[in-house]
Chain A
Amino acid sequence: MNKVSLNINGITVKADKGATILKAAQDAGIYIPTLCHCPDVSSIGVCRLCLVRIKNRRRFEPACRTIIEEGMVVVTDDPEIQRLRQVILELILSDHDFNCLLCPKSGQCRLQELVNRIGFNEHRFSRLEHVAKDLPIDTSNPFFDFNPNKCVQCTICVRTCHEITGNDAIDMAYRSYDLRVSTFADKPIKESVCVSCGECMERCPVGALIPKKVEHPTREVKTTCPYCGVGCGLYLGIRGNTIVRARGDDESPVNHGGLCVRGRFGYSFVNSPDRLSIPLMRAYDEYAKPSSVVEVTEEGRPITLPLVKRDGKFVEITWDQAIKYVASSLAHYKGDKIAAISSARCTNEENYLFQKFTRVVLKTNNIDHCARL
């Protein structure tokens, strides 16, 4: 790869040909503030916070869109640039909701970070008429809300929806002060073509696109998604003994951090109250004793096992009873009278063990699973 060398803030930096000033600076450990930049979608330079001074160019250039050249001399920070950035930030803040304490994004908000880094001139800011927007919040989607009052029009969500998912559910609509993110015909998100994958929410730098339930996990476990065959890598966020969130694993060679609606939001089934927790068995008399009694049920079918009441209700039993019952019952039937169906939802280890069990213990090759369905 060809390298280009340039000078940033007096430091000589080498970077790959074709890289932007922002990338070269970040790789060299030089901070340039950004709001609309997101590494996995294209840069459009709308926030203007990354403006830098380049020697022999008449105007300031956005670092996220300017490709480096050999011998370029760049200044990322001086009093004039600082003043410029402060004014830009003040304009962004002029219609933003200031109630950070109640915002779930607080602490992870890029706007907060920028205010801390760049600061603003209180005197100048007080002369701006601060009008917080009062637009309706779109709560139609079951997984995330869109609060246009907190939106900074960085368009990361729009670019994500177009470039990452190819779904194009949202775009910028209206003009000037009314400019905002909108679905086709300004319908609620749920009625649009949105597939609820939440990629936009994941990338929103502020509190505009925010999950409905914000619970911060206390630890994370790296694992593989249990839904389709793609096998996306993900981190499950755990709090206590509950899964509170999932996020894509950026290092996974399969999904590179991306997830779909099922993979990102589909885990509350694990904690569903309907989960089975105790072995169940049809109620019948002496189930502990295997017997050779042949009885005829109402359907005219002989029963060779202990009196199992087919139409009976389930009763809860202990694991010991269940294992003993299954083991003793299976011992009555060997070979091709038995069939076993394994599961494409279980792990490799369990499938291996189940086919071994069928072949070794039950002495039959009648083992299959849903691959052909």
Chain B
Amino acid sequence: MAGLAASFGSGAMTNSINEIREAACIFAIGTNTTANHPIIGRQVTRAVQKGAKLIVADPRRIPLCRLADIWLRLYPGTDIALINGIMRVIIEQNLMDTAFIEERCEDYEAFRASIMDNDLAVSEKITGVPAQDIVRAAKMLGSISPATVLYTLGITEHSHGTDNVRALANLALLTGNIGKPSTGVNPLRGQNNVQGACDMGALPNVYTGYQKVEDEEARRKFERAWNCKLSPSNGLKMTEMFEAAHEGKIKVLYLKGEDPIVTDADTSFIEKAISHLELFIVQDIFLTETARLADVVLPAAGFAEKDGTFTNTERRVQRVRKAIEPKGGSRPDWMIICDIAKSMGVEGFDFDNAQEIFEEIRALTPSYAGITYERIEKSGIQWPCPDDKHPGTPYLYSERFNTPSGRAKFAHVSYRPSAETTSHEYPFILITRRSAFHYHAVMTHKAEGFDELRKEERIEIHPADAATLEIQDGEVIKVSSRRGSVKAKTKITEVVPAGVVCMTFNFLETRTNILTSRAPDPVTKTPEFKVCAVKIEREESAYITKDYMRWGTGKI
């Protein structure tokens, strides 16, 4: 998100889901859309059926490749070399939108010079994509409009994730594909309310609506509203928190609705960091692997047991309604927080229902100011929505960008290798992904039926690699990185290229994230989940069984 914010001013999907099917050209990079966002995958399918061109860039042969006009099978972590190569061709062949660049953008000349430094032959060498395919993709992207870019964690979960995003933003600016329907740079967000959590200021550097903590005026506004003194310095990012905990600087961690022991990178380190805490409070609906380490566990109510709002990936604020009574003695998270605050004698936490909280959010957040529960009773509204007559904003930047000058900035981005590269000892690249049949590690396993569709981890390995290592399909192998090792059954398939293996992190029996690297992006501190060097060894005697006892009995 930081990448988009730097280029355009806001970190969010620029356009709407419904616009995708009207696009004439779709560039899907680092997104297995049909598995992780099936409903958006259907929009892409619709567009292609209506004649849109589809360019897929992914090391894996994902289902979308079947529909694609061009599939750019790049080496993991070489996205920038590919995008810069495409942009060089666009500039060389004079396919850029000069009028748009002059009118709406800045820093073009410097950017142009930096792009012309990229040699196509070098791009081909780095990415492994034939130069002619790069040229074809560039011609398509440069000449067909409206074109839209879709991406997800395949772009951001790298040690150069922010740069990846800025490169895509450059591409959209260069071809004038932004600020119009069915265009834009569109991050498809993974969790139901990750957009909302960001909008609400659950971030160390901003309050609600991205009002900066370091901005004195914004801070004063919140000090007045909350009637207290606020810290003027930015807080720690999640990855830094665990490092600080490990060093003993953070003593207390209050964690709500997350399972970092399973989903974060380098989980052995996270586990160690948690053991250094003096007090660890977890609030969740299940006794997750993380909650098992807590001192206090507070049972929260699930989504069907409380009222509120979620903000989806296209910035649409939608209602969540209470359908059933909370299970057992669990309580909605907001009620628990209010109770603790009141017990600590703090004012400002007297809320009777979610709507009262939303009214306070509206009053403090310009982009949400016009949204009320009454207005979103039937269907949601997309922010920014500054007043109660405003219909909401399906696509951003139709007139100006959210930068001080109102113009979008071209960024100078050049290719850097991933933080971790292969070596003689660790010759394979591991990519992580999510299964189409599971969410993370808990919800779908607790729901009936999903384990029948995919019951265990199958590590994908190319037939040539399997032949070299003399590995059979379905054999249990040991995968090790510099941080640890896990065991999993193999699946020999050409979905992955040679030299690359791929695992999901959906199964507790195979904790894939023990392997992954914490090497962070310098701006967002997002760890490099998508590239990590591993070795593979045969494990003839080992086999894994599903340990139902840990979850099934409910006893501790």
Contacts and interface: CB of A to CB of B under 8 A. Distances in A.
A322 B323 contact: no
A268 to B, nearest CB: 4
Interface in A143-163: 143, 163
A365 B213 contact: yes
B306 A347 contact: yes
A342 to B, nearest CB: 4
A339 interface: yes
A135 interface: no
A277 interface: yes
Contacts of B304: 221, 223, 226, 236, 243, 267, 270
Contact of A365 (B231, B317, B320): B231
A118 interface: no
Contact of B241 (A274, A335, A361, A366): A366
B373 to A, nearest CB: 11
A325 interface: yes
B170 interface: no
Contact of B236 (A278, A322, A339): A339
Interface in B540-556: 551-552, 554, 556
B236 A368 contact: yes
B469 interface: no
Interface string B288-317: 000100111111101111111111111011
A154 B208 CA distance: 52
Nearest to B228: A360
Interface string A224-258: 11111111110010100111000000011111001
Nearest to A255: B39
Interface stretch (A7-15, A56-64, A78-86, A302-310): A302-310
B287 A276 contact: yes
A280 interface: yes
A335 B379 CA distance: 40
B79 interface: no
A359 interface: yes
Interface stretch (A88-96, A106-114, A124-132, A190-198): A190-198
B310 A348 contact: yes
A42 B417 CA distance: 48
Contacts of A222: 319, 321
A88 B413 CA distance: 67
A117 interface: no
Give the bracket for the number of chain B residues in contact with chain A.
35 or more
Interface string B25-54: 000000000111111111011101100000
B190 interface: yes
Contact of A341 (B1, B253, B316, B527): B253
Contacts of A339: 235-236, 241, 244-245, 250, 252-254
Interface in A270-291: 270-282
Nearest to B328: A277
Given A346-B257, A359-B231, A372 B525 contact: yes
A323 interface: yes
B474 to A, nearest CB: 15
B37 A351 contact: no
Interface string B395-409: 000000000000000
Interface stretch (A18-26, A65-73, A170-178, A326-334): A326-334
A269 B446 contact: yes
The CB with the most chain B CB atoms within 10 A, among A229, A329, A342, A358, is that of A229
Interface residues of A, number: 120
B439 A262 contact: yes
A367 B281 contact: no
A371 interface: yes
Nearest to A140: B452
B111 interface: no
Contacts of B188: 229-230
Interface string A98-109: 000000000000
Contacts of B192: 224-229, 231, 344-345
Contact of A349 (B42, B252, B309): B309
Given A261-B436, A339-B236, A373-B238, A266 B323 contact: no
A243 B323 CA distance: 8
A54 interface: no
B73 to A, nearest CB: 21
A313 interface: yes
Interface centre among A193, A322, A350, A353, by most chain B C-beta atoms within 10 angstroms, is: A350
A242 B448 CA distance: 14
A164 B205 CA distance: 42
Interface stretch (B82-90, B122-130, B196-204): B196-204
A354 B256 contact: yes
B250 A338 contact: yes
B215 interface: no
B385 interface: no
A272 B449 CA distance: 13
A123 interface: no
A106 to B, nearest CB: 24
B253 to A, nearest CB: 5
B357 A349 contact: yes
A326 B233 contact: no
B117 interface: no
Given A265-B447, A267-B447, A368 B204 contact: yes
Nearest to A166: B45
A360 B226 contact: yes
Interface stretch (B98-106, B134-142, B344-352): B344-352
A356 B40 CA distance: 34
Contact of A330 (B287, B316, B340, B551): B340
Find the residue from A224, A282, A303 having the highest chain B CB count within 10 A: A224
Given A274-B287, A308-B279, A323-B336, 11 more contacts: A166-B48, A221-B304, A231-B311, A243-B324, A253-B316, A266-B450, A269-B444, A335-B231, A346-B256, A349-B358, A357-B340
28 contacts: A142-B448, A163-B49, A196-B453, A228-B439, A229-B188, A236-B323, A251-B379, A261-B453, A266-B439, A266-B450, A269-B302, A272-B286, A323-B343, A327-B344, A329-B279, A342-B202, A342-B256, A344-B257, A346-B308, A348-B361, A350-B332, A350-B337, A353-B349, A358-B254, A368-B203, A371-B203, A373-B157, A373-B264
Interface of A: 141-143, 163-167, 190, 193, 195-197, 212, 221-233, 236, 238, 241-243, 251-255, 258-263, 265-282, 299, 301, 303-305, 308, 310, 313-314, 319, 322-327, 329-331, 333, 335-373
